[in-house]
Structure 1
Amino acid sequence: METLLSHSFDYLSSTSPQKIRKGLRQVEGLLAQICMSKTTNPANKRHSMLALGSTPPPSSPKKLTDLHQDPAYREFFKLQQSFQWNVCMRLISCLERLLGKESNGTNDLLVIQTLELIQGVLLLHPPSRELFAREIYMNLFLDLLDPQNCPAIQSATLLTLVTSLLDHPVNTRTFETLDGLLVVTSLFKSRTTSREVKMKLVEFLYFYLMPETAPAPKLTTSATNTAILGGRGKELAAAFADHRRRETINTQAGGEQDGKTRSTEDKQSILSKYLNNVQDLVEDLKEGGGPFGVGS
């Protein structure tokens, strides 16, 4: 796995669109191998191949609850704890370089693909979300929500932004500090914003208004590694769940941040400064009418 990551990182650091695309495909292939099940019954596989000619049966997605039992996932998680092999960091660096290039069809597709891979990595390795407590990285999302960018980039950015904020109130505080709500609501109010993007913006606002839960106590590095690499499935599952819930205040982000959680009412008060009729969104959310089906 280290060899594959090393090759993909070399391609991602290139200035050539062709090499960047190859690096992104290699990362995508790795994530697909981790997430997709393989046929384990030879008889079933032989029967399927006979029925379909020479085409092997399609793989099926693994359940999230089963991932901790997979050796490939365990190895991937272990490597992501290291700065040298952290995929999210490399994708962020690639995204920064892509943003520095002239906007065109080829570059836009690479940006979208990079954003989609960041989503996948953040779901497979939740601790990488801590990177977005830093303003320099959160600002990338806000730059991508510029009205001049194509709707596909804006939509992909909103989904990746949600993934970066999941279970991490500190990241949400960074988003608020950088006037992220102003960026989002301004895009929503703009007449040039496509209908598809406006729908994604409404979904994001529903997500933002959800009440936050207090983060679990931070695990030490040694305790984290012990839980992840201890060899017993229940320990890994518990550690994985803790990582999805825990919150870390990253003092390297330019000083301590407000790590306090906020209720729906708190967020309603903040959002009301930028958008009218927020009360309607809140009532819809509490009645379970939002896109996430969340009730009170």
Structure 2
Amino acid sequence: MPINVPIQLPARPILEKENIFIMEDIRATTQDIRPLNLLLLNLMPEKERTETQLLRLLSNSPLQVNVDFIHTESYKSRNVTMSHLEKFYQTFNDVKEKRYDGLIITGAPVEHLAFEAVDYWPEISEIMAWSKQHVTSTMHICWGAQAGLYYHYGIDKQPRDAKISGIYTHDRVEDTHKLMRGINDEFLAPHSRNTDADFTSLYAHPDLTVLDDSKEAGPLLIASKDERHLFITGHIEYDADTLLVEFIRDQAKGLNINAPENYFPQNDTTLAPKNRWRSFAYLVFSNWLNYFVYQETPFQWASNK
């Protein structure tokens, strides 16, 4: 079903080539059904790439989806042009009087820092506090998941002995949870991080449900029991070549980094990697939009003021 995207957004022609159902503003305003209104806080350095990845997965909704983009006001990204931010992004101050059906907080390359040491932590904290009254459900991705677990539930992160990078097998541990509907008993997911959430505190928390587990990567999906939060510890939005791009980048920096595990065919770095998690990623986003957002959000947000 359609996703409403600005005409000049760079992600648009890419998605149209993939036959993703894109709708223009004029057509969107003539629809009688109520769209889902989402807010995307994009903390990733390559914002245009992340926009495309997330919009692709959000397109598999039974309803029209409107997406507003915001960036941090307290920190300016060096990997995106100011013209792109000015054309397609707002700041939190621009949207804080609005209500949204869903919020997505992306990962960020700041996991080596304590949360309070991150330049924009006060702003992120303000947004997460605001979301309690203004957002039906929030999806937190990678560092965004660690930040959300820390802010909402007091679960800190821990450094890993070595960076985890690659594609890892996960086993579902919750058979009946609505977010796991249609998902295989065993599935693959990309991970790329230097820290983990404190798994002991995570499993022990009474307000959280761990939906899967992996011997190498730990749990990927954690849901709050009130359905207000979904935490994704990996990067299921990644394209087939994203880990390759990161690997080449880290090599260029002179880092002593291993090739992503279980990623290259036959473990041959000269062979192009394949996306083996695409259908799983679509299901996760679809289930979140349906069960945690659409089924729970009020038709008229104004009645909840």
TM-score normalized by the length of structure 1? 0.29
Structure number with bigger Rg: 1
Name the structure with the higher helix share: 1
TM-score normalized by the length of structure 2? 0.28
Name the structure with the higher strand share: 2
